DNA sequence: CGGGTGACTCGAC
DNA sequence: CGTCGAGCCACCC
């Protein structure tokens, strides 16, 4: 799939996040890598922090750090909303850690090329 | 315009 | 094996 390269970094992050299939998750680094900025993983998280400003809904709960840990949980209203959402999609989480992370991991640079 | 920020990542000790 | 530190870069104020 080809994404508009004219758009800003943020917009690309939002687009990739929306492309994440239900029941799957991705990582900040993987997304950053897909948009040709593998070292901008922090920017991805920051972009998701402002995902509410995006014109369309962004499933930011499907994006975790590269270990499968829900580091962004606290930014989801301060509750277990992120965990609840992921579990409702079939993802198993124990202590904010995705247990079957290897199976649900979705790499845009591989799945989306 | 310049500095600060951040939901990350990787390497060193 | 676990913890700590520094680099990274586009966007906001």
Closest nucleotide C1' to the C-alpha of A49: B7
Q: Identify, with chain letter, the residue nearest to nucleotide B5 (CA–C1').
A: A46
Q: Identify, with chain letter, the residue nearest to nucleotide C7 (CA–C1').
A: A39
Residues 6+ apart with CB under 8 A from A68: A25, A97, A98, A101, A105
Mean pLDDT, rounded, of chain A: 90
Residues with CB under 7 A from strand B: A 27-30, 40-46, 48-49, 51, 60-61, 63, 65-67, 71-72, 74-76, 82
- Write out which nucleotides of chain B lie closer than 7 A to a protein Cβ: 5-10
Closest nucleotide C1' to the C-alpha of A9: C10
Question: A63: closest CA among A13, A11, A102?
Answer: A13
Is-above-0.75 flag for pTM?
yes
**The pLDDT of residue A79:** 82
Per CATH, the number for A9-108 is 1.10.10.10
A58-108: per-residue pLDDT in tens? Answer: 999 999 999 999 999 989 887 899 999 999 999 999 989 999 999 999 999
- The answer to whether residue A10 scores a pLDDT higher than 90 is yes
Can you give the residue ranges of every domain in chain A?
Answer: 9-108
């Amino acid at each position: 799939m080809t994404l508009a390269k004219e758009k800003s970094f943020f917009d690309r992050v939002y687009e990739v996040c929306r492309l994440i299939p239900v029941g799957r998750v991705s990582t900040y680094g993987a997304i950053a890598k897909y948009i040709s900025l593998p070292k901008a993983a922090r920017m991805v998280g920051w972009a998701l922090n402002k995902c509410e400003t995006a014109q369309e809904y962004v499933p930011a709960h499907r994006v975790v750090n590269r270990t499968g840990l829900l580091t962004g949980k606290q930014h989801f209203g301060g509750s277990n909303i992120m965990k609840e959402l992921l579990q409702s999609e079939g993802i198993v989480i124990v202590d904010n850690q995705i247990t079957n992370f290897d199976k649900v991991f979705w790499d845009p640079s591989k799945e989306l090329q």
